């Protein structure tokens, strides 16, 4: 019987959380971090193990998804795939440095890439993201060859089971099984909260299962290939982030409870505590059976059962002391382990009490009055010290209680009118990012609010110091002056656009909106890399676009030159559709500038003519993100006077060009862009900008309102996305302020549309309900 895992090595180098790890061989380890890097670690000394690291990929924003392909004839060392907030999947060859071009750059996702997995032969790569999309890529061609459709929320995990089957883990609590060519085969229900991760289980395994899954419900669930539940593995006391299978059949897992746990024969046989709260990822080495973990303390740790690879005494002692000295906030303790100091046993309990299972907690009141925490190690039959329990950093009368725990803050989150606000508890010891994620997941809210909520938490606790308590925080953390708090003195957060929650009337909308998203500098790099490989652009064009990369840092007005826009238009009109996406995305960002209009309207046509003749606004094309960026371009021209004149002059042809997407938007991003276009046209028609008679305006408004109604009454889940729904309703509400006669003429149709829209999930958001109430008031 194999012995216990013990520390083998500690690897430091990352500057933020280590979000993903892979351990393809004893000589090589790969890690990805929130510090925007992927690092490759190479074994330099085997006993004790020592590693050197190099940066294999330097991105511009955090990376949280990582996959390693198996060796092949073409790629003897395999390939490294990574993705994250940039929305791009990078494929690198091992051994290449960060300044060397990636082997492949795969742009298709509209939001954060959250999971990646290679097929067994390495020829295909599957990616999933916050945009609810899952793509199957041909790695060599760099093309999407299939889409695994049907997800309505964030996709957190992917398992490529074999050459035929793929499983996905979605935030709607469902596991889905697909044919790798895109055919949906079955939906597996069983998780009571969000599933996050998978591992394949070999034939003849003690569990009898084909694969395992785990997630926010703190349970590892075992499944047959046809989705039958085969058993459960219990032990974790918080979210489970990662699971892996060892070469001997043991299952290893990591989670939010500071632990890596090892399971065999349906029981936890070892609990490895870390001096970090979040153990984001765990992986096993197929050659040695060693395991590696990546954690929120920026550290990678390797554990082994082989005494030849044990860490030296000094490293082991430092690790053990780090665990023993770890400060555990009392408010973070599991509710399954109630904490009342006066009822705790003394230190003699460590000798007289025996644990019932590996990883069981025991709290002891020491002779000096302090409280220590211990975990039962079943293999050694003893309690291991894992830290000292301390009161929260903001302890005292200012602490707030929620669900039996004490917190520095308990924020109110208004979601649905007539119902109590949701509560977002937060301690100063926590990461605002993790607090935001837990809140969104536990309340089944879209992850598109992740960064917004995290930044809001940070802004509203800025200035609070560890040990101060919430009462010592500055005014902005709970007592903000009404003039500076758009939500009023209650300091409540309401998801959605900040502009939509001004506290006053929302109608009519008076401001034009823009959509400037993504990383245009990266898009320029993609274009240049492609152009160098294919010679599809002249040296002058490449040089011109290289200069634009720096200008795009100013997203309010990048001021593109006519030469730069001309270079982009060459790509948009002549490159294959899949290669146009970065260029159309850059055009959308440039469209906010006056110089963009000069460059695109100097001839006989307009930017609309260019986009339509190039097929950018064509429905059901191979690359639907072209449509998203194309509509965003039309949205952004409203920022300038010249752009609004063009939008006014192309009113009929613009609406005709995008009308097919009103009833059948192809993605949430597309729906949001289309609703933004409708809103800008509504603002234009109700302002004094166009020199139209009232009858002409009302005729146009009737056409626009009909298209908005198509969208609001659509059965597509994409049209029900909360931000798209709000903007479409704001457009409709703005139009009815044109005048009493027009309002009466449209009243009956609008009432029916409001009824249908009000049944959509996104309509339950507080600001949307307030907006709908305002529209109904206008109709009276």
pLDDT tens digits, 726-750: 999 999 999 988 877 888 888 778 8
* Contact call for residues 130 and 150 (beta carbons, < 8 A): no
**Cα–Cα distance, 280 to 239 (Å, whole number):** 10
pLDDT of the residue at 416: 57
Percentage of residues in the chain having pLDDT higher than 90: 44
532-556 pLDDT tens trace: 777 778 888 888 888 887 788 787 8
Q: Helix (H, G, I), strand (E, B), or coil: what is residue 651?
A: helix
Residue with tokens 């606790």: 461
Spatial CB neighbours of 765, under 8 Å, sequence gap ≥ 6: 415, 416, 494, 495, 496, 722, 726
Asked whether the predicted pLDDT for residue 406 surpasses 80, the reply is no
104-115 pLDDT tens trace: 999 888 889 999
More confident of the two residues 622 and 697: 697
DSSP for 48-117 reads TEEEEEEEEEE-SS-EEEEEEPPP-SS-TT--EEEEETTSEEEEE-TT--TTSPPSEEEE--SS-EEEEE
* Contact call for residues 106 and 137 (beta carbons, < 8 A): yes
199-232 pLDDT tens trace: 999 999 999 999 999 999 999 999 999 999 999 9
**Cα–Cα distance, 370 to 695 (Å, whole number):** 79
- Both structure tokens of 131: 């945009």
* Contact call for residues 56 and 72 (beta carbons, < 8 A): no
Asked whether the predicted pLDDT for residue 502 surpasses 60, the reply is no
More confident of the two residues 570 and 443: 570
Neighbour-count burial of 376, counting CB atoms closer than 10 A to its CB (0-12 exposed, 13-18 middle, 19+ buried) = buried
152-179 pLDDT tens trace: 889 999 999 999 999 999 999 999 999 9
**Cα–Cα distance, 396 to 595 (Å, whole number):** 58
More confident of the two residues 346 and 254: 254
Using CA atoms of 679, 680, 681, 683 in order, give the dihedral in degrees to the nearest 10.
90
Asked whether the predicted pLDDT for residue 51 surpasses 90, the reply is yes
Q: Fold match between 32-189 and 400-460? A: no
**Cα–Cα distance, 561 to 182 (Å, whole number):** 43
Residue with tokens 């999947």: 89
Would you identify the CATH topology of the domain 32-189? Methylamine Dehydrogenase; Chain H (2.130.10)
Neighbour-count burial of 403, counting CB atoms closer than 10 A to its CB (0-12 exposed, 13-18 middle, 19+ buried) = exposed
Would you identify the CATH topology of the domain 508-645? 1.25.10
pTM listed for this prediction: 0.62
Residue with tokens 């030159």: 561
Spatial CB neighbours of 259, under 8 Å, sequence gap ≥ 6: 236, 271, 272, 273, 274, 279, 359
Q: Which helix (H) or strand (E) holds 420?
A: none
HEC letters along 683-720: HHHHCCCCCCCHHHHHHHHHHHHHHHHHHHCCCCCCCC
Would you identify the CATH topology of the domain 400-460? Ubiquitin-like (UB roll) (3.10.20)
Asked whether the predicted pLDDT for residue 494 surpasses 60, the reply is no
Spatial CB neighbours of 340, under 8 Å, sequence gap ≥ 6: none
**Cα–Cα distance, 456 to 202 (Å, whole number):** 45
pLDDT of the residue at 485: 27
Asked whether the predicted pLDDT for residue 471 surpasses 80, the reply is no
**Cα–Cα distance, 287 to 338 (Å, whole number):** 43
Spatial CB neighbours of 699, under 8 Å, sequence gap ≥ 6: none
Stretch 82-88: mean pLDDT: 92
Stretch 690-701: mean pLDDT: 70
Residue with tokens 């929260």: 392
Residue with tokens 């043991």: 250
Neighbour-count burial of 468, counting CB atoms closer than 10 A to its CB (0-12 exposed, 13-18 middle, 19+ buried) = middle
Stretch 126-141: mean pLDDT: 94
- Both structure tokens of 406: 């004490």
Spatial CB neighbours of 113, under 8 Å, sequence gap ≥ 6: 64, 65, 83, 84, 86, 87, 88, 89, 127, 128, 129
Q: Apex CA 521: angle with CA 515 and CA 523, to 5°?
A: 80
* Contact call for residues 374 and 355 (beta carbons, < 8 A): no
Q: Helix (H, G, I), strand (E, B), or coil: what is residue 680?
A: helix
What confidence category does residue 402 fall into, taking pLDDT thresholds of 50, 70 and 90?
A: confident
Query: Where exactly are the structural domains of the chain?
Result: 32-189, 329-334+343-390, 400-460, 508-645, 664-779
């Amino acid at each position: 019987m194999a012995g216990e895992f013990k520390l083998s090595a500690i690897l430091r180098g990352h500057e933020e959380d280590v979000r993903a790890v892979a351990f393809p061989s004893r000589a090589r380890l790969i890690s990805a971090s929130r510090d925007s890097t992927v690092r490759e670690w190479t074994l330099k000394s085997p006993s004790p193990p020592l590693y050197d690291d190099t940066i294999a990929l330097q991105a511009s924003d955090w990376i949280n998804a990582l996959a390693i392909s198996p060796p092949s004839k073409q790629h003897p060392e395999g390939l490294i795939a990574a993705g994250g907030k940039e929305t791009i999947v990078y494929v690198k060859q091992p051994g290449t440095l960060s300044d060397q071009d990636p082997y492949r750059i795969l742009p298709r996702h509209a939001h954060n890439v959250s999971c990646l997995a290679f097929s067994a032969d390495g020829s295909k790569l599957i990616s999933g993201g916050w945009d609810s999309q899952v793509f199957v890529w041909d790695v060599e061609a760099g093309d999407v060859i299939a889409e695994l459709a049907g997800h309505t929320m964030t996709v957190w995990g992917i398992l490529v089971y074999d050459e035929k089957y793929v499983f996905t883990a979605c935030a709607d609590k469902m596991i889905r099984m697909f044919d790798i060519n895109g055919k949906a085969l079955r939906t597996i229900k069983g998780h009571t909260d969000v599933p996050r991760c998978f591992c394949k289980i070999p034939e003849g395994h003690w569990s009898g299962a084909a694969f395992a899954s785990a997630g926010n419900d703190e349970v590892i669930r075992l499944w047959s290939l046809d989705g039958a539940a085969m058993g459960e593995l219990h032990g974790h006391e918080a979210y489970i982030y990662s699971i892996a299978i060892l070469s001997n059949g043991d299952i290893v897992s990591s989670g939010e409870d500071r632990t890596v746990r090892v399971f065999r024969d349906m029981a936890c046989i070892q609990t490895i505590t870390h001096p970090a709260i979040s153990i984001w990822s765990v992986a096993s080495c197929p050659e040695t059976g060693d395991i590696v973990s990546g954690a929120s303390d920026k550290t990678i740790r390797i554990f082994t059962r082989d005494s030849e690879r044990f860490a030296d005494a000094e490293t082991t002692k430092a690790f053990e002391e780090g665990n023993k000295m770890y400060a555990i906030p009392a408010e973070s303790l599991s509710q399954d382990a109630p904490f009342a100091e006066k009822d705790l046993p003394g230190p003699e309990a460590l000798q007289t009490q025996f644990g019932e299972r590996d990883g069981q907690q025991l709290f002891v009141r020491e002779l000096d009055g302090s409280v220590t925490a211990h975990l039962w190690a079943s293999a050694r039959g003893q309690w291991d010290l894992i830290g000292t329990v301390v009161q929260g950093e903001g302890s005292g009368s200012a602490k707030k209680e929620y669900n039996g725990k004490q917190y520095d803050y308990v924020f109110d989150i208004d979601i649905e009118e007539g119902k109590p606000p949701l509560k977002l508890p937060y301690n100063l010891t926590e990461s605002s990012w993790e607090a935001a994620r837990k809140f969104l997941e536990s309340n089944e809210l879209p992850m598109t609010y992740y960064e917004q909520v995290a930044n809001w938490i940070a802004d509203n606790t800025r200035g609070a110091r560890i040990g101060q308590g919430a009462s010592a925080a500055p005014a902005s953390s709970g007592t903000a002056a009404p003039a500076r708090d758009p939500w009023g003195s209650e300091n409540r957060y309401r998801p959605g656009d900040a502009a939509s929650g001004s506290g006053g009337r929302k109608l009519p909308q008076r401001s034009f909106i823009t959509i400037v998203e993504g990383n245009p500098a990266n898009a320029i790099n993609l274009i240049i890399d492609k152009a160098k490989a294919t010679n599809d652009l002249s040296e002058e064009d490449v040089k011109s676009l290289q200069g634009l990369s720096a200008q795009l840092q100013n997203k309010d007005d990048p001021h593109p030159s006519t030469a730069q826009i001309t270079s982009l238009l060459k790509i948009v009109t002549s490159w294959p559709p899949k290669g146009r996406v970065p260029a159309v995305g850059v055009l959308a960002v440039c469209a906010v500038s006056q110089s963009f209009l000069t460059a695109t309207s100097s001839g006989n046509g307009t930017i609309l003519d260019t986009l339509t003749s190039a097929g950018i606004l064509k429905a059901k094309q191979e690359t639907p993100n072209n449509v998203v960026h194309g509509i965003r371009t039309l949205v952004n021209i409203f920022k300038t006077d010249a752009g609004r004149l063009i939008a006014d002059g192309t009113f009929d042809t613009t609406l005709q060009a995008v009308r097919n997407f009103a009833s059948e938007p192809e993605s949430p991003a597309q729906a949001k862009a289309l609703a933004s276009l409708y809103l800008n046209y509504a603002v234009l028609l109700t302002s004094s900008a166009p020199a139209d008679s009232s009858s002409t305006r009302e005729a146009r408004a009737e056409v626009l309102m009909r298209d908005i109604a198509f969208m609001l009454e659509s059965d597509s889940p994409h049209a029900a996305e909360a931000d798209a729904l709000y903007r479409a309703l704001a457009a409709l509400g703005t139009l009815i302020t044109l005048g009493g006669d027009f309002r009466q003429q449209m009243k009956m149709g609008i009432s029916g549309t409001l009824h249908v829209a009000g049944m959509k999930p996104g309509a339950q958001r507080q600001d949307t309900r307030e907006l709908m109430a305002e529209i109904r008031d206008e109709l009276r």
